[in-house]
């Protein structure tokens, strides 16, 4: 879609819980669109829920987005021409806008108590009609009350807008009741603060999750009533569903927690690649996309409408592909935070070629390398097995301690033993690592100091 003037997009995460996976995917789509159009990407913190905001959650939003290298051009920490970018610091602005709507008759004070509203709702239910506020406080406000909220007077009619994913959208605003824009504590609702800020911050395209699709007509009516220019277009992106197809919940699904992907050893560029494909279909068989390739290929027309199920297997595959494409040095560097503290740099570097071909995640390296610092519990082997371990020791003793020489020596030992590779190697692996998951045996040997490796075999034999 060709756009005149500077493209300005934004994300508006709420710091009311740990940063959500959806924030990463929404950010990615915003950044891709901004970069495609030489536009500006704004980070606005939606922190008007005073009871649930926590500064540590805000910090986690920055940390997660930095980890993903999805950098913003304007934001609370960076400033910009439309600061402040934290909604809690913009409350006076919302109050001014509410005052204007009140003065022009587009909003009114509502003194109804929660109990009265609940009674209205129940009545509607009993009469089997969709609930809409009765407008009691517009037509016949109760006297002698001082606590009030501010309600927008919904003009009704049809609200239409362009959605870059879904095409032309139409909503019947006659179904929408007058809704609250300022709560009795003086704080704006999301429904009010969001369009006011989008207008003041000159946001041209609102790209956000599908759960906000039904909010758009509310917000557009407010923009119109305030006499602001509407954003050019919206894009409502498919919801990310849990692997089981249910709604992604922070409580039930670990995949909802964005920073967990870092801690489990996913590469940020692999996660972005995966997230791009989760809601968007490139139309070709290509599955691995660098950020630049995404920037060139991405378009909203190829974004799917239905919710997208999270798929660990696919993510692991993509992550493994990215791991295999790293240079040995780069992989060693990235593994540093994950490997057991006793594995020194030199050993890690020697392990990298073997790790590279089998790691789905960086964190998995721990399982492969843990035996270097954890002495396996000795186990009892039968006499025949013990004899084969002895044979291995004899062949290993004279060799230069590096994978190829070790492999050659072990193959000779196998030939002499007359048993299969598997039968010969399994007890050796057990004696050496005490684990089922291990690097190829010659690597497992070579990474341990020779005396230590032979000591473990002696003990087992």
Annotated catalytic residue within 250, 397, 423, 455: 250
Q: Report d(CA 341, CA 359) in Å as an integer.
A: 19
Stated as kind and residue range, the H or E segment containing 176 is none
- What's the closest the beta carbon of residue 47 comes to ligand GLU, in angstroms? 9
Q: Report d(CA 7, CA 310) in Å as an integer.
A: 30
Q: Report d(CA 267, CA 295) in Å as an integer.
A: 19
Q: Report d(CA 169, CA 119) in Å as an integer.
A: 33
Helix (H, G, I), strand (E, B) or coil at 172: strand
Counting every residue written for the chain, the total comes to: 461
Query: What count of other Cβ atoms lies within 10 Å of the Cβ of residue 404?
Result: 11
Of residues 48 and 361, the one with the C-beta less far from ligand GLU: 48
Binding region for ligand GLU (CB under 6 A) = 12-14, 46, 194, 208, 212
Of residues 14 and 364, the one with the C-beta less far from ligand GLU: 14
The CA dihedral of 73, 78, 83, 87, to the nearest 10 degrees, is 100
Of residues 52 and 400, the one with the C-beta less far from ligand GLU: 52
250's tokens: 């922070």
- What's the closest the beta carbon of residue 230 comes to ligand GLU, in angstroms? 14
Strand segments, DSSP code E, in 56-166 are 107-110, 149-152, 158-163
Of residues 248 and 372, the one with the C-beta less far from ligand GLU: 248
- What's the closest the beta carbon of residue 198 comes to ligand GLU, in angstroms? 8
**C-alpha separations of 201 from 84, 230, 393 in Å:** 10, 12, 73
- What's the closest the beta carbon of residue 321 comes to ligand GLU, in angstroms? 31
Of residues 61 and 428, the one with the C-beta less far from ligand GLU: 61
Residue 247: what are its φ and ψ, rounded to 5°? -65, 135
- In the sheet with 205-209, reading across from the earlier edge strand, the strands are 167-172, 158-163, 233-237, 205-209
- What's the closest the beta carbon of residue 406 comes to ligand GLU, in angstroms? 55
Closest CA to 225 of 182, 196, 253, 268: 196
Q: Report d(CA 52, CA 73) in Å as an integer.
A: 27
**C-alpha separations of 262 from 21, 56, 332, 379 in Å:** 12, 17, 16, 37
- What's the closest the beta carbon of residue 392 comes to ligand GLU, in angstroms? 59
Q: Report d(CA 420, CA 254) in Å as an integer.
A: 42
Residue 250 a catalytic site member:
yes
Of residues 220 and 270, the one with the C-beta less far from ligand GLU: 220
- Contacting residues for 212 by C-beta, under 8 A, at least 6 apart: 236
**C-alpha separations of 254 from 20, 249, 250, 260 in Å:** 10, 8, 7, 8
- What's the closest the beta carbon of residue 190 comes to ligand GLU, in angstroms? 6
Of residues 15 and 268, the one with the C-beta less far from ligand GLU: 15
Of residues 12 and 107, the one with the C-beta less far from ligand GLU: 12
Contact 67, 268 (CB under 8 A): yes
- What's the closest the beta carbon of residue 349 comes to ligand GLU, in angstroms? 43
Catalytic residues: 250
């Amino acid at each position: 879609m060709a756009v005149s003037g500077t493209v300005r997009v934004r994300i508006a995460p709420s710091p009311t819980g740990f940063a959500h996976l959806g924030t990463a995917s929404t950010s990615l789509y915003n950044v891709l669109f901004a970069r495609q159009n030489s536009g500006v990407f704004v980070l606005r913190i939606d922190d008007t829920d005073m009871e649930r905001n926590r500064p540590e959650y805000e910090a986690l939003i920055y940390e997660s987005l930095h980890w993903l290298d999805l950098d913003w051009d304007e934001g609370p920490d960076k400033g910009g021409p439309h600061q402040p970018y934290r909604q809690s610091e913009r409350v006076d602005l919302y109050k001014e806008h509410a005052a204007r709507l009140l003065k022009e008759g587009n909003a009114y004070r509502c003194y109804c108590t929660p109990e009265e509203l609940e009674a209205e709702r129940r009545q509607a239910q009993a009469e089997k009609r969709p609930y809409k506020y009765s407008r009691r406080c517009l037509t016949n406000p109760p006297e002698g009350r001082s606590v009030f909220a501010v309600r927008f007077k919904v003009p009704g009619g049809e609200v239409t807008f362009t959605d870059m994913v879904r095409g032309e959208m139409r909503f019947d605003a006659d179904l929408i009741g007058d809704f609250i824009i300022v709560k009795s504590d003086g704080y704006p609702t999301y429904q009010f603060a969001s369009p006011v800020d989008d207008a003041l911050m000159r946001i041209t395209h609102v790209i956000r999750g599908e759960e906000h699709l039904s909010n758009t007509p509310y917000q557009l009516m407010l923009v119109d009533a305030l006499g602001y220019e509407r954003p050019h277009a919206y894009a409502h992106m498919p919801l990310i569903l849990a692997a089981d197809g249910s709604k992604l919940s922070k409580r039930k699904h670990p995949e909802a927690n964005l920073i967990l992907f870092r801690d489990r050893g996913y590469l940020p560029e692999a996660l972005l690649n995966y997230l791009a494909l989760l809601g968007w279909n490139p139309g070709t068989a290509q599955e691995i996309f660098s950020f630049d390739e995404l920037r060139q290929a991405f378009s909203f027309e190829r974004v799917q409408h239905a919710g997208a199920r999270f798929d660990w297997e696919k993510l692991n595959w993509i992550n493994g592909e990215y791991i295999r494409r790293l240079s040995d040095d780069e992989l060693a560097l990235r593994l540093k935070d994950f490997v057991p503290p006793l594995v020194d740099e030199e050993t890690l570097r020697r392990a990298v070629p073997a790790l590279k071909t089998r790691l789905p995640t960086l964190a998995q390296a721990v399982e492969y390398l843990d035996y270097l610092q954890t002495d396996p519990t000795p186990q009892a082997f039968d006499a025949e097995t013990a004899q084969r371990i002895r044979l291995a020791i004899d062949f290993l003793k004279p060799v230069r301690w590096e994978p190829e020489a070790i492999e050659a020596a072990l193959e000779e030992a196998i030939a002499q033993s007359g048993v299969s590779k598997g039968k010969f190697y399994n007890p050796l692996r057990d004696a050496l690592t005490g684990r089922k998951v291990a690097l190829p045996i010659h690597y497992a040997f070579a990474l341990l100091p020779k005396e230590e490796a032979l000591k473990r075999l002696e003990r087992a034999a």
